């Protein structure tokens, strides 16, 4: 078994709290990779011998980003809708149907090529773990094949048949929920780890969302939820009631929602790309952190409301406009995302973690927010 020693790490973010601060930062550090795992971490002066070595010239190293919320199985493009929105039209969940038509018309090969291209784009920006949702098929056949495609790329696949009611069920939403919780779930479950629903006005209400999550759980899927994105609603309370590991968006919260999150331990995954791309007010990360809620950040990469694949972009927005410190935002993009997926092997660089890391062409992780929009990720190991 060969070992590889990285030296000259000006600043190493481990997310191991036994080192300095919440990010476990080590200066002048070294790290040994063996069999794809972190085998040793510490001061460069104490680094052990290894089969090969490489000097990083004082650059910062961070854990690879964990993007715990992405809708990558789709076809088509909604740039015209974006342009119209920026010209003053408002966003509603209905635009999802445009992407559904394009996704149904695409072949499996086209969908797979599309996922691969987006994953490569994410990796160039430092992301090494990605959750991928279905939700643009909305038929038994198209949800199952979308998840089959996604499962070629990640184990973190999510069945989101309950994304929006498709046009053919517009007059029978209850019938659509029966389809999702019955034959569609049956076909999708072999390819899915998670089950999700869009609990929002214009999509699914609390009872429908609960029914979808419970049906998925009965099939062995782990539940997660889109909630409180476009307005106040019951989703966050439902997530806490069901003991979900994470609930995503959390933009419109009242005091009871914040208290429920703090009391339940359910992680709030904030998706500022959506507010950016719909020109909407951002979620208040500071309020959540001050209440003791664990916060994760993710891209929500999708062609309608958040067509960014960039975790550094989301991090910079969270620091600039959501009250997070650079350290809190980096933690939320790495360890926070891992926690939101229930993963202990990624999101940190402690001994035994997967050696998923990004080398920044900068002396400190702070540059990720300090230099927004700059491609600072020089290299990714995963």
Binding site for Zn ion (CB under 5 A): 300
CB of 340 to Zn ion, least distance (A): 13
Strands (E), the chain: 3-13, 25-34, 37-43, 52-55, 60-63, 65-67, 127-130, 132-133, 157-162, 194-199, 222-223, 225-227, 246-249, 267-270, 295-297, 357-360, 377-381
CB distance 277 to 305 below 8 Å: yes
Beta bridge partners of 3: 34
CB of 305 to Zn ion, least distance (A): 8
- Give the nearer residue to Zn ion in terms of CB position, either 257 or 300: 300
Helix (H, G, I), strand (E, B) or coil at 114: helix
CB of 143 to Zn ion, least distance (A): 15
CB of 33 to Zn ion, least distance (A): 33
- Give the nearer residue to Zn ion in terms of CB position, either 274 or 288: 274
- Give the nearer residue to Zn ion in terms of CB position, either 227 or 369: 227
Read off the tokens for 124.
């160039």
Helix (H) / strand (E) element for 337: namely helix 335-340
Q: Is 206 exposed, middle or buried (0-12, 13-18, 19+ CB in 10 A)?
A: middle
Helix (H) / strand (E) element for 98: namely helix 96-105
CB of 226 to Zn ion, least distance (A): 5
- Give the nearer residue to Zn ion in terms of CB position, either 67 or 300: 300
CA angle 88, 90, 96 (to 5 degrees): 130
Between CA 364 and CA 303 the distance in angstroms is: 32
- Give the nearer residue to Zn ion in terms of CB position, either 156 or 300: 300
CB of 205 to Zn ion, least distance (A): 18
CB of 349 to Zn ion, least distance (A): 28
- Give the nearer residue to Zn ion in terms of CB position, either 322 or 359: 322
Look up residue 354 and give its DSSP letter.
Answer: B
- CB-nearest residue to Zn ion: 300
Read off the tokens for 176.
């659509």
Q: At what angle do helices 326-333 and 311-321 cross, to 10 degrees?
A: 140
CB distance 80 to 31 below 8 Å: no
- Give the nearer residue to Zn ion in terms of CB position, either 71 or 348: 71
- Give the nearer residue to Zn ion in terms of CB position, either 59 or 133: 133
Helix (H, G, I), strand (E, B) or coil at 301: strand
CB of 306 to Zn ion, least distance (A): 8
């Amino acid at each position: 078994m060969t070992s590889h020693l990285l030296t000259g790490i000006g600043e190493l973010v481990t997310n191991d709290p036994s080192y300095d601060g919440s990010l476990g930062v080590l200066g002048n550090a070294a790290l040994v990779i063996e069999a794809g795992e972190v085998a040793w971490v510490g001061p460069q002066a104490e680094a052990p011998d290894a089969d090969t070595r490489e000097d990083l010239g004082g650059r910062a190293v961070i854990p690879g980003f964990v993007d715990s919320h992405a809708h990558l199985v789709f076809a088509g493009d909604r740039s015209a809708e974006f342009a119209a929105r920026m010209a003053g039209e408002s966003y509603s969940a209905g635009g999802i149907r445009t992407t559904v038509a394009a996704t149904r018309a695409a072949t499996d090969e086209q969908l797979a090529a599309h996922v691969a291209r987006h994953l490569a784009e994410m990796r160039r920006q430092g992301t090494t773990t990605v959750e991928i949702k279905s939700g643009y098929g909305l038929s038994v056949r198209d949800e199952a094949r979308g998840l089959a495609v996604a499962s070629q790329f990640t184990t973190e696949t999510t069945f989101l048949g309950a994304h929006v009611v498709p046009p053919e069920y517009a007059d029978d939403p209850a019938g659509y929920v029966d389809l999702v919780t019955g034959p569609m779930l049956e076909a999708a479950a072999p390819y899915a780890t998670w089950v999700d629903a869009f609990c929002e006005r214009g999509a699914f209400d609390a009872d429908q969302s609960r029914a979808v999550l419970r049906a998925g759980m009965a099939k062995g899927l782990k539940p997660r939820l889109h909630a409180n994105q476009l307005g106040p609603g019951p989703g966050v309370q439902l997530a806490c009631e069901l003991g979900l590991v994470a609930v995503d968006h959390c933009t419109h919260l009242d005091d009871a929602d914040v208290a429920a999150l703090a009391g339940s331990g359910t992680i709030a995954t904030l998706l500022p790309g959506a507010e950016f791309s719909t020109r909407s007010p951002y979620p208040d990360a500071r309020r959540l952190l001050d209440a003791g809620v664990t916060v994760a950040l993710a891209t929500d990469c999708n062609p309608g409301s958040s067509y960014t694949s960039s975790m550094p972009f989301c991090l910079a927005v969270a620091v600039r406009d959501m009250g997070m410190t650079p350290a809190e935002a980096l933690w939320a993009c790495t360890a926070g995302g891992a926690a939101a997926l229930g993963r202990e092997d990624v999101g940190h660089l402690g001994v035994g973690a997967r050696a998923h890391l990004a080398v920044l062409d900068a002396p400190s992780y702070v540059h990720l927010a300090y230099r927004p929009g700059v491609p600072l990720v020089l290299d990714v190991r995963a």
